[in-house]
C-alpha cells in the first residue's frame, strides 16, 4: 500500500538535504565572489545572503508552477514566512534570547510590514496573475536597491551587524573556488528542487491533500531549514542581528520573489482559505515579531518566553492545517 510511495518519500528527504547543502554552497560562493570584487560585508549580508537563503523557496515555487502546481508555490511562500517566524525564530530564541542592536534591522521591520500590505492587496481578488507577478518582482528590484543604499549609509555609521557579517563571509577564498561553489550550489539547488517537487506532488495526490497545504507544511518546513540552521548557529555565536536579519530578509524575498513566480509562470486562482486562514496567521506572527524586535521605547529583544509564544503560535497553526487536511 505505502510501498509505492517510498520513492517519493526518499525524493522529499533527499531533496531537502540537497537543498540545505546547495543553498549553503551557493551563499558561500556568491558571498566570497562579491567580497573579492570589493563589495562591503554589510551589503553582501543584506542582499546576497538574503537572496541565497530564499533560493530554495524561489526554485521550488518556480518548478512547482511550471509542473502545473502553482498553489504549492504560493503555499511555500506564505508557509515559509510562518515557519521562519514561528518555528525558526521561536526555537532560536528558546536556545538563546535575541537582542536587536542594528539600526538596519529596525528599518527592515516596517518595510516587511509594507510588503505584506502590498501582497495582501494583490491577493484580495483571489488570484495571482502575471501583472501581480510583475508588480512583485518590480518590488523585489526596488527592495534590493533600497537595501544597497541602506547598507552604504549604515556602513558609514558603523552598524554593529557589519562586524558580524565580516566574521561570517569568506575573506580569502580564491575567485576560482568561489565561482566553482557558486555554480555547484546553483546546479544542486535546481536538481534538488525538481526532486522535492516531484516527491511532494506524488504524496499530495496519493493522500488527496491539496497542493496548498503541502506547500504550507512539508515544502515550507524543508525549504526553511537553511534559515533554521543559520539562525541557531548565528545566535550561539552571539551574532543576534544576523539571526534575526536572516529571517527578515528571507521573508521579504519570499513575498516578492517566491510569491511572484507562480503568477508569472502559471497564473491561477487562489484558494479562499489562503486569505481566511493562512495570511492572517502570517500577518499575526509578523506583527508579534515587530512588537518584540523593534523595541519602541526599549531595546529590541526577543526573550525565551516570547520565543515560546512564537513557537506555540506556530504549533497551533499546524494543528489547524492538520484539521483541514483530515476533515
Percent helix, strand and coil across the chain, each to the nearest 5: 85, 5, 15
Using alpha carbons, list the distances in angstroms from residue 74 to 88, 148, 238. 20, 27, 34
pLDDT value for 310? 95
* More confident site: 210 or 159: 210
pLDDT value for 259? 93
pLDDT value for 276? 94
pLDDT value for 160? 62
- Pairing mode, if any, of strands 127-128 and 98-100? unpaired
Kindly report, residue by residue over 45-88, the tens digit of the pLDDT.
777 777 777 788 888 899 999 989 999 999 999 999 999 999 99
pLDDT value for 274? 94
Domains recognised in the chain with CATH numbers: 3-326 (1.20.1420.30)
* More confident site: 283 or 163: 283
pLDDT value for 316? 96
pLDDT value for 158? 61
State the Cα angle at 268 between 263 and 270, rounded to 5°. Answer: 105
Kindly report, residue by residue over 140-161, the tens digit of the pLDDT.
999 888 888 877 776 666 666 6
Say yes or no to pLDDT of 1 above 60.
no
pLDDT value for 82? 96
Say yes or no to pLDDT of 2 above 60.
no
Phi, psi of 302 (to 5 degrees): -110, 105
Predicted confidence band of residue 165 (pLDDT cuts 50, 70, 90) = low
Contact between 222 and 12 (Cβ < 8 Å): yes
pLDDT value for 94? 92
Amino acid at each position: 500500500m505505502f510501498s509505492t510511495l517510498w520513492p517519493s518519500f526518499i525524493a522529499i528527504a533527499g531533496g531537502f538535504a540537497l537543498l540545505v547543502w546547495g543553498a549553503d554552497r551557493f551563499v558561500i560562493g556568491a558571498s566570497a565572489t562579491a567580497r573579492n570584487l570589493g563589495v562591503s560585508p554589510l551589503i553582501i549580508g543584506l542582499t546576497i545572503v538574503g537572496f541565497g537563503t530564499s533560493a530554495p523557496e524561489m526554485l521550488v515555487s518556480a518548478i512547482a508552477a511550471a509542473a502545473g502546481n502553482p498553489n504549492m508555490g504560493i503555499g511555500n511562500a506564505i508557509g515559509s514566512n510562518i515557519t521562519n517566524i514561528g518555528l525558526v525564530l521561536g526555537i532560536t530564541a528558546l536556545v538563546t534570547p535575541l537582542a536587536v542592536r542594528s539600526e538596519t534591522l529596525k528599518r527592515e521591520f516596517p518595510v516587511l510590514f509594507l510588503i505584506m500590505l502590498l501582497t495582501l492587496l494583490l491577493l484580495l481578488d483571489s488570484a495571482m496573475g502575471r501583472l501581480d507577478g510583475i508588480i512583485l518582482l518590480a518590488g523585489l528590484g526596488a527592495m534590493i536597491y533600497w537595501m544597497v543604499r541602506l547598507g552604504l549609509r549604515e556602513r558609514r555609521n558603523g552598524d554593529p551587524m557589519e562586524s558580524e557579517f565580516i566574521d561570517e563571509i569568506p575573506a580569502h577564498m580564491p575567485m576560482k573556488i568561489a565561482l566553482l561553489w557558486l555554480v555547484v550550489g546553483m546546479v544542486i539547488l535546481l536538481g534538488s528542487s525538481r526532486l522535492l517537487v516531484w516527491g511532494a506532488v506524488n504524496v499530495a495526490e496519493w493522500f488527496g491533500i491539496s497542493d496548498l497545504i503541502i506547500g504550507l507544511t512539508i515544502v515550507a518546513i524543508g525549504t526553511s531549514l537553511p534559515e533554521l540552521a543559520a539562525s541557531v548557529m548565528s545566535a550561539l555565536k552571539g551574532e543576534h542581528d544576523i539571526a534575526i536579519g536572516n529571517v527578515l530578509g528571507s521573508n521579504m524575498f519570499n513575498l516578492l520573489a517566491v510569491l511572484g513566480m507562480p503568477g508569472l509562470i502559471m497564473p491561477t486562482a487562489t484558494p479562499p482559505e489562503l486569505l481566511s486562514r493562512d495570511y492572517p496567521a502570517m500577518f499575526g506572527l509578523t506583527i508579534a515579531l515587530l512588537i518584540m524586535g523593534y523595541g519602541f521605547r526599549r531595546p529590541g529583544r526577543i526573550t525565551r518566553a516570547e520565543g515560546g509564544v512564537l513557537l506555540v503560535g506556530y504549533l497551533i497553526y499546524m494543528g489547524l492545517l492538520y484539521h483541514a487536511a483530515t476533515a
